[in-house]
């Protein structure tokens, strides 16, 4: 069964450093998302991406965040200057169709900012 894959599984970075989280969505999917889950809290929407552009972003997704689909397969989330409060599990998700269908989640990247 096709899966969304994310790398790395765990990243530790120093405050102020840039990090790039990588995702490979399922190949025939068209809609891509990043969510994050701070330990013990709910999964929160960050950004959605369709047709090579951001379609919606949350208040969390400020100027420090950016997304890119550089080569038609990878979907990346960049945090330019990490803060302690960016520590969380980051999930990539993708879905195939516009009409409400299942969103498939990757296994997550645990980001720890020290």
Q: Using CB under 8 A, list all residues that contact another protein.
A: 4, 31, 33, 35, 41-45, 48, 50-51, 55-56, 91, 95, 98-100, 102-108
Question: What strands, in cross-sheet order, belong to the sheet with 65-68?
Answer: 5-7, 19-24, 75-79, 65-68
Q: What's the closest the beta carbon of residue 30 comes to another protein, in angstroms?
A: 11
Pairing of strands 53-57, 104-105: unpaired
Alpha-carbon distances, residue 25 vs 12, 41, 61 (angstroms): 23, 25, 20
- Among residues 27 and 98, whose Cβ is nearest to another protein? 98
- Among residues 14 and 42, whose Cβ is nearest to another protein? 42
Comparing C-alpha atoms, which of 28, 44, 52, 22 is closest to residue 104? Answer: 28
Alpha-carbon distances, residue 49 vs 83, 103, 113 (angstroms): 24, 13, 25
- Among residues 86 and 108, whose Cβ is nearest to another protein? 108
CB 114 within 8 A of CB 15: yes
- Among residues 84 and 99, whose Cβ is nearest to another protein? 99
Q: What's the closest the beta carbon of residue 56 comes to another protein, in angstroms?
A: 4
Q: What's the closest the beta carbon of residue 83 comes to another protein, in angstroms?
A: 23
Q: What's the closest the beta carbon of residue 64 comes to another protein, in angstroms?
A: 20
């Amino acid at each position: 069964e096709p899966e969304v894959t994310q790398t790395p599984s765990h990243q530790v970075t120093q405050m102020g450093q840039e990090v790039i989280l990588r995702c490979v969505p399922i190949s025939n999917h068209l809609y891509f998302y990043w969510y994050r889950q701070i330990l013990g809290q709910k999964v929160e929407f960050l950004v959605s991406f369709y047709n090579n552009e951001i379609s919606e972003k949350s208040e969390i997704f400020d100027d420090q965040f950016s997304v890119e689909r550089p080569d038609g397969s990878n979907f990346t989330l960049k945090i330019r200057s990490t803060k302690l409060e960016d520590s969380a599990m980051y999930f990539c998700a993708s879905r195939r169709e516009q009409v409400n269908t299942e969103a498939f989640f990757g296994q997550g990247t645990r980001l720890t900012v020290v």
